[in-house]
Amino acid sequence: MAEAIDHSLDNDTKVPSVTAVLIVGCTLSSSVVILRVLTRFAILRTAGIDDWTIILAQILAIGAAVAIGLETKYGMGKHIWTVPPENIVPYFKSLYSSILLYNGALTMVKISILLQYRRIFTVTSMQRATGIALLIIGAWGITVLVMLSLICVPIQALWDQSVKGQCLSLLPAYYAPAAINIATDFTTWVLPLPVIKSLQLPRRQKFMLMFIFGLGFL
C-alpha cells in the first residue's frame, strides 16, 4: 500500500541552504584564486602552468555550481511530489552537467597542485613521484570523462525515458569515481611530506609546512 503524502510539507525546501553553500564556496575559492593570480601575474610576474591550471579549475568549479543552482530550480531540495513532471528532464540535464564539471574541476585542481609541487621541490625523487602522479591522475580524469559520456547510449536516455537506450548502473558509476578521487586526494596530500620531513628545519616549522600543504587536501 502506497504511503500517504503529507501535503503539510509541500513548502519545505533546502534550496536556500544549497544556494548559500554555493555562493559562499564560490566566493571563497574565487577570492583565493584571484589573490593568487594577482600575486603571481602582476606582482611577482612568475606565472606558471600551475597557475593557468588552477584558473581553469576555478572556471569549471563555478560552472558546476551554476549547474547545481539549476538543479535547485528544477526540483533539487524539494519534495519529489511537488516537482512538476516537465522539470524532470531539465533537472537530470543539470545534474549530468554538474557531475561532468565537478569531476573536471577536481582533476584540474589536483593537476595544479602537483605542478606546483614540481615547481617548489626540485629534488629528483619528488620530480619523479609527481610525474607519475600526474600521469595517473590525468589518465583517471580522462577515464571518468569517457565513462560519464558513455553512462547511457545514447546519452539522452539518461534524462528522457522516451528514448530507448542502454545505461550503466548509476550508483556504481557515482561511487567508484568518488572512492578513487578520495584516494588520489590523499596521495596528492602526502607526496611532499617525506621531503618536508627531510628539511633541516625546527620541528615546529615542519609541522607548520605540513599543515599548510594539508589545507590543499581539504
pLDDT in tens, 119-163: 988 899 999 999 999 999 999 999 999 988 889 999 999 888 888
Q: Are 65 and 25 in contact (CB under 8 A)?
A: yes
* pTM score over 0.85: yes
Locus of grid cell 543552482: 69
Condensed to tens digits (0 to 9), the pLDDT of residues 57-74 reads 999 999 999 999 999 999
CA atoms within 13 A on the CB side of 205: 6
Q: Which residue in 22, 19, 111, 112 sits closest to 63, CA to CA? A: 22
